Structure 1
Amino acid sequence: MTATLHPAAPAALSSQPLVMEARGLVKRYGGVTAINGANFELRAGEILAVIGDNGAGKSSLIKALSGAVIPDEGQIFLDGQPVSFRSPIDARKQGIETVYQDLAVAPAMTIAENLFLGREILRPGPIARLFKIIDTKRMFEEATAYMSDLQFAIKSMSQPVETLSGGQRQGVAVARSAAFARHVVIMDEPTAALGVKEGNMVLDLIRKVRDKGLPVILISHNMPHVYEVADRIHVHRMGQRAAILNPKKISMADTVSVMTGAINPDDLSGDVLAH
């Protein structure tokens, strides 16, 4: 069980250990350099927002961190140890779970079945394992416990996902990642296409995941949502980290200006935590 870490202010986070780090990542697609010597730092107990204009390379960066893209150069570290991901499965084996914008849920299956999708629990015993007999009862009980722990209100774990609202479906995807992640949860635009109420519900769930001890990487274009939950903001520009900003001390307008290149991060030295 992961120990509980309470949210920390950005200044306190600077003393927290690095859970995930990348140094000098490079990824080229022919003559196009999508990641150009990028650095990245995720600390324990934080929600780190990653923002960037279209074409900034943030998607390629996140794909490298989640195993979907293999960098041409650079190194990724997990708990200070170098790791090499050849696929998203490699990243999952290291306790890194990703929630994608398209959710990747099976609508006709129940909530419990979706939580264990691809990782079904088999009944004990050699015969059950030989014939891959699924332990439905145990999956139902553990799914109920996961959802209860996150204080996520669902009528029944046997409810088909297709009967849920968009926010509830996103909640199932988030809960699945939180249930199996040991190191990091990556969330790619988790509130996209959601209404205000459902978006706030997902933001609350993100906070609960962080408060349970899992650092969260949040990729989002929704700046109000970023400012509502992020402890630090990683600004990605032209394939590199332009700055890490403190959302408690820098305005949303100035953050957007740094992201677009209208303001040099050095002009905001009091609010910039790193370059």
Structure 2
Amino acid sequence: MLGSVADAEDLVQDTWLRWSAVTGPVASPGGYLARTVTNLALNRLSSAAVRRESYVGPWLPEPLVTEPDATEGVERAESVSLALLVVLESLSPLERAVFVLKEAFGFSYPEIAEALDRTEAACRQVGSRARAQVRARRPRYDAPPELRRRATEEFLAACVGGDLNRMLDLLAPEVTTWSDGGGVVRAALRPVTGAGNVARFVLGVLGQLGERAAVRPVLVNGEPGLLVTVDGAVDSVSVLDFAEGPDGGPLVSAIRAVRNPHKLAHLAHLAHRADRA
């Protein structure tokens, strides 16, 4: 709902405080908690929208990073991939709430109507509109997880090896990269498009970091991604989207890199585990 780990943690804490203050019996604890969380999230989204209007450069959600061999929660995480969270930014807060409750958490429309204090018919209409918008903007190529993982590792090897030709082979012609530095660290203020431009941009960034950098594969919101550390601190987290290539295999169609240190603070525990590349 929020695209922010810190905001989500604060919201859960606020919900717990409200729950602990309840003195009478609650017929449906799950429904009460869902309603409280959802309405608190809707309130917070209004102020978040104002903050993002003045954001420097592209805005990306905060990444949730786990180890490549992690299995717990991956199935749920895949339903809220970074690419999907970006798409959800195009929805209104109400559309976003209905979509997340229905598609990510499996709530029924009567339950959603109760949580949002709206009619079931209205929630169905909002849900249908939200699904149509998401379907129109989500990537249409759904490569198997193992294939995405191998393609990500090949791209990592080409980046670390400085192999421009191999990178061009792995990038879709219309590939686009977004860098979120939030005005705090250096990042491209506009998307970079085209295989040649993206390859040179990525290699240029890694070249500037030099031997101080270490890059390793991780899972980002349940999908293959890359973690970059510099001098023992998390520098960036990137996740790749894929399109179908001429031979049916995956080509990198989008790269989303989060560099804003405020969005990476919750990942500090991962930095010391990186292998120097």
Give TM-score scaled by structure 1 length: 0.29
What is the TM-score normalised by the length of structure 2? 0.29
Bigger proportion of residues as strand: 1
Greater length-normalized contact order (CA 8 Å, ≥ 6 residues apart) = 1
